[in-house]
Structure 1
């Protein structure tokens, strides 16, 4: 040891002798560091010297050099870049497989700090030296909670870069599910008694892992399908959310991540799951617009009213509204759970209980996705939302001051309005709030909603009044025409506003009412100026949007706590 120390920088010699030095765990670490700094031979080692120590034959030197790099790289993009340019990243990745826990723990900590931030070159450097498989191996072999937190935190950071999403999936999806998601969710694969299942554990490692999977779930169709087919993942995520609702703990980051994953996996589920064509209904839109056009006497609605004979707890004994639910011969599991009508109650509970705006947006987005498309399950979902008294919950959220929540709820209501009974109810109870969110010409409402949100609201209004002169009449009586005409003539003119106006004018029986109010055909012409929104579809009922929060999930940790840390 003495011979090896003789070749080291004095600072590193002292680090080698002070094996009790621990960043940032022990208070005596700072005492040791102070004593080192008082040595007259002491000087700060340069970065090249620190990186060279990563390959030193003495393990304490390796671990202390890695810890020092972790400290230097904390919120310092310049140092991260220099570490990369000096080929420090491959050396740190190599140390992930080191048998000594202290060495691979500190190497992983350094990589987590290096991977944090907007410089994707650092992330690619870790990927290019097989860092992702090494992190997954470390996750499998280590029993240390701290190491698992560091490894999953690094993977979370890496997953924020688009080109690495599938790499993370290919190398670590099943491991992340088996080692972290399932055990911490409280769900057990072989349990036959749901009442005996454990509650979820909202640990840091679960938060990191769910954040990583949230990022990769937004990558595209292939990524979504891989996650849907990952054994136990959907089951565990749903169980964790049920646990959160039961325990009234719905505002934490892990719950948000879980809902976001499920929302993304629900995107285009009616097109992408194997055998989806068996459930397609080519004429479903026409069917659902016509079914239940006349409300039956004493038929209850989700906004209150009498229950008809044969109803029990909000459900009909044999009929599910106007439709029969499919008979099941075995318990649903895996990706099938994504679109079962029972999942509606979970999302509605989250919309009722949570105060986390991201969770609210994601839960509304999941319903939005599930209610889209022409297949049998979307019809069941639309009916279930009504029968579970979900429409009033969604309508109330239109009053939210959070733009993204209003947008998600508006699009969900639009898809739900494809069901004729839902359309009647939404027209009766939601039009006022929808119109209230519209700007009046150049002036925006108090909430100052974004253009995309206003377009979503207009598209929802258009769906509600299509094939429904009663809803169109209510829209006119609600003084919406003035706002629509102002939007149509303003520099923010949008096709969505003109579509609503043209649909209103197409009802000849309503023209007398319009003329009496001072409106004529000229007010319903199309005036297209600067497009308000380019990202929202203008038409079609297949409005499904994944939650692609690409910048979520980045985190860092300093080797030595400072005023900025945490």
Structure 2
């Protein structure tokens, strides 16, 4: 089963200043969206006696992203505050406002920045005007000795770069990132809210992510993520309303950065304290009943993205430990592969001992080891069970489980057995299959497909799962839901079971799965996704044919009018 990672980045919010300056508690959340596909069709050969295989699903990036940013402004400065009445900014024009930024008078600087912030909230032309010379002056004010000036300068920049690539580039080329990171050292919530909002918006562009990660990860982790996650000096999450926004902005930025490429994923995994803080925050949120919150969604999505292609990207020394001490020399594997289960008592005892001792990993995980440690399976299980409403968080947890059980590495099999035998996750996964959200189904069925590949007792798994899986298949090849990716995952799961279990083939027949599989195989839709689904269904049917007692039922379906 392939791995999954985030395919779309999401933008942080822009916010008003003047018209909503007094609405300090007017905070709003954001929605989500996403995508994926491809394949080719093969013919079903009824006389074929060899077992046909389906390509394994790989790990996947996060398929969810928050869409357009919304105004979540909750009050930066009251207009009647210490700077006095700012009503005269209504008489400004953009050229004057930009000129004010270069003045030595802090009050004029505030007026200029406040005007720019207000005008750039939704005016594209205003953003173009500021580009002509205002950005360097704003950058200069990020670290003004006057915190009010710094707040307005960063607030103006936040709106200025929103949905404007030219201004994003100008900010970076003007040395904006180092100045923002320097300003992050100031312990001021409103300033930090603006800075993290800017970084979040910058991180929505793939061509900026690598540079952003290089220049911001350490400071964001040390100054924001660790202190606000509950994994620092305090072991509980104690966030003020402003800190909730700061943490959300920061994890939104990290969520985007984690989706870009292998180099950045490696850098994030190795950033001191980053993974520990994410895990600690998720654990604390579960304990405090806050698993539905958006910060948790971002944290789980980052964990899923950092699990993408994990076994090919982690340090070789770690991979060597996970593969076992004699893995390179010993050709007799201690894990079951396909239908061939080790029979010797010694091997079986060793397999059972592995699930208790886990000598390959530390008893108490630390840092990037959390990503593949058996304890993380339990963490994701708790998220799946505890999160009732936020399907994005559930999808991310299932996607992370899919990633760490993907492929043919020994440790993927070990963690699959942890999920099945220690955490007893199969009933949980089957219950979650009731969702109609296709993105969630994609990760859930991807994880089930991995479990079916690594399960020791295919008969037992078939008895528990086939009915639920067949029920999710479309009645014919023409239905749009579930998506072709979900259909391919379900067929892959059924195929893993059928190749080793006559019980699976029997139950597919009993629960009317043959008719559905034949209909999917015979779909005339030539789109890549439908072709891939047709090929997957054909593979299952081909392998079912090895059980001769089902031939009569199979032929009966083939002879039904309209079938071929």
TM-score band, normalised by shorter chain: 0.7 to 0.9
Deviations 1:113-146 (A, max 9, x none): 11222x3222112111111111111102x11111
Partner of 1:218, secondary structure, is coil
- Aligned twin of 1:500: 537
Asked if 2 retains the 8 angstrom alpha-carbon contact of 1:200 and 1:243, the reply is: no
CA RMSD of aligned residues (A): 3.1
1:510 to 534, 547, 552: 547
Cα deviation code 1:305-352 (max 9, x no counterpart): xxxxxxxxxxx9993587863265664311111111011111000000
The residue that corresponds to 1:325 in the other structure is 358
- Unaligned runs of at least 5 residues, structure 1: 1-22, 38-42, 190-195, 300-315, 528-566
1:431 aligns with 2:483: no
Aligned residue for 2:306?
265
| TM-score normalized with structure 1 length | 0.76
1:187 and 1:239 in contact (8 A); partners too: yes
Indicate the residue corresponding to 2:106 in structure 1. 59
Question: What secondary structure sits across from 1:242 in the alignment?
Answer: helix
> C-alpha separation between the residues in 2 aligned to 1:508 and 1:456?
20
In the alignment, is the contact (CA less than 8 A) between 2:335 and 2:413 conserved in 1?
no
- Listed as ranges, the matches of 1:58-97 within 5 Å are 58-84=105-131, 86-97=132-143
Select the residue among 69, 77, 90 that pairs with 1:25: 77
Q: In structure 2, what is the equivalent of residue 175 of structure 1?
A: 219
Q: State the match for 1:9 in structure 2.
A: none
Runs of 5+ unmatched residues, structure 2:
1-74
Q: Is 1:440 the counterpart of 2:451 in the alignment?
A: no
Cα offset, 1:221, TM superposition = 0.7
Separation in 2 of the partners of 1:516 and 1:152?
Answer: 62
Q: Distance in 2 between matches of 1:451 and 1:78?
A: 43
Q: Deviations over 1:242-263 (max 9, x none)?
A: 1011111100110001000110
Structure of higher RCO (CA pairs closer than 8 Å, 6+ residues apart): 2
Give distance in 2, aligned partners of 1:206 and 1:149.
9
Rate the CA distance shift 1:411–1:121 in 2: closer, same or farther, 3 A: same
- In the TM superposition, residue 374 of structure 1 has moved relative to its aligned partner by 2.6
Q: How many residues align?
A: 467
**2:354, 2:193 → 1: CA distance?**
48
Deviation for aligned residue 1:83: 1.7
Question: Do the aligned partners of residues 403 and 200 (structure 1) sit closer, same or farther apart at CA in structure 2, a change above 3 Å counting?
Answer: farther
> In 1, are the aligned partners of 2:383 and 2:397 still within 8 Å (CA)?
yes
Which residue in the other structure is 2:490 paired with? 457
Instruction: Report Cα offsets for 1:535-562 as digits up to 9, x if no partner.
Output: xxxxxxxxxxxxxxxxxxxxxxxxxxxx
Indicate if the aligned counterparts of 2:438 and 2:482 stay in contact, CA closer than 8 A. Answer: yes
- Rounded to whole Å, the distance in 2 between the matches of 1:408 and 1:330 is 29
Give 1:103 shift: 1.3
Q: 1:488 to 1:184 in 2, by over 3 A?
A: same
Q: Structure 1's 414 and 341: CA in aligned 2 closer, same or farther, altered over 3 A? A: same
The secondary structure found in structure 1 opposite 2:374 is: coil
Quote the offset at 1:372 in angstroms.
1.0
Change (3 A) 1:172 1:27: closer
Q: CA deviation at 1:508?
A: 4.6
| Contact map agreement 1:370 1:381 (CA 8 A) in 2 | yes
Q: Matches of 2:238 and 2:276 in 1, distance apart?
A: 13
Cα distance, 1:432 vs. partner?
2.0
> Contact conserved, 2:495 with 2:543, CA < 8 A, in 1?
no
1:399-410 equivalent positions in 2, closer than 5 A: 399-410=434-445
1:368 aligns with 2:402: yes
Structure with the greater alpha carbon radius of gyration: 1
Residue number in structure 2 paired with 1:537: none
Pick from 190, 193, 203 the counterpart of residue 149 of structure 1: 193
Partner Cα distance (2:335, 2:536) in 1:
20
Which range moved further: 43-52 or 407-416? 43-52
Q: 1:470 and 1:164, CA in 2 relative to 1: closer, same or farther beyond 3 A?
A: same
Aligned counterparts, 1:84-483, within 5 A? 84=131, 86-117=132-163, 119-140=164-185, 142-188=186-232, 197-199=235-237, 201=239, 203-275=244-316, 276-278=318-320, 279-280=322-323, 287-290=336-339, 319=352, 325-326=358-359, 331-354=364-387, 355-386=389-420, 387-421=422-456, 423-444=458-479, 448-483=481-516
- Structure 1 residue 207 displacement after superposition: 1.1
TM-score by length of 2: 0.76
User: Do the aligned residues in 2 keep the contact of 1:472 with 1:504 (CA within 8 Å)?
Assistant: no
Q: Secondary structure at the match of 2:547?
A: helix
Looking at structure 2, the residues matched to 56 and 458 of structure 1 have their Cα atoms a distance apart, in angstroms, of: 68
